Copies of this chain bind each other. A is one copy, B any other.
Amino acid sequence: MSARVLVIEDAEAIGAAVSSALRESGYEVQHRLDGRQLETDLGRFRPDLVVLDVMLPGRDGFQLLEVIRRSSGAGVVMLTARDGVPDRLRGLSGGADDYVGKPFVLAELVARVSAVLRRLGRTPSTVQVGDLVVDADAGVVMRADQPIELTATELRLLVYLAAQRGRVVSKTQILTAVWGYEDYDPNLVEVHVSAVRRKIEEHGTRLVHTVRGLGYVLRAEE
């Protein structure tokens, strides 16, 4: 069900932060400090996607990228230092599926990882909850076959809730996943949940349920 992501990043700090952010988004994650056992990991862990730092001790990211391409169908998202054009071009021409320039916001990386996985078909692009269909790739939301117009933020919020459907997510989780914030402003989430509700529940039953003191769930029944 949930996709496997291998993170290769020698900076402990970043690697750990990335790993836990991805875990919170529901992926199964393994973290390595270098690419030494890459071949073994590809065989054993069989990741659907690899998050790859460019600057690594031993073999660098581009060498590892080739290894991955040669022996696995995994997607690759590269972390390039300082969004420099040279690296960028090289990464793309080397066949990375996407790249993120450091420093980056965790939420952005998670979003790109999800996008690549969807493109590869490893993650369903559309989620259905009752008569609501959320197509994260196309950015389209339909309720009872009627298209619904959402703003960018509302869409990100709903996509996140859809990815976590059936599970209660706290406002803090939503804040970090959708906005990448660290500071806690519950009302910001409330306002946008309210907006989403107004649009998707206008002609139908309640889908975004409030769980007082805990957060929100996207769920059809009850």
Contacts and interface: CB of A to CB of B under 8 A. Distances in A.
State how many copies of this chain the complex holds: 2
Most interface-central of A93, A151, A155 (chain B CB within 10 A):
A93
Interface string A50-80: 0000000000000000100110000000000
Interface string A13-50: 11111001001100000000000000000000000000
A152 B23 CA distance: 23
Contact of A138 (B119, B152, B167): B167
B182 A88 contact: yes
22 contacts: A12-B66, A12-B69, A12-B70, A13-B69, A15-B95, A17-B92, A17-B93, A20-B97, A138-B167, A138-B168, A139-B168, A139-B214, A139-B217, A140-B166, A140-B167, A140-B168, A149-B222, A151-B212, A151-B213, A152-B213, A152-B214, A155-B214
Interface of A: 12-17, 20, 23-24, 66, 69-70, 85, 88-89, 92-97, 119, 137-140, 147, 149, 151-153, 155, 166-168, 182-183, 211-215, 217, 222
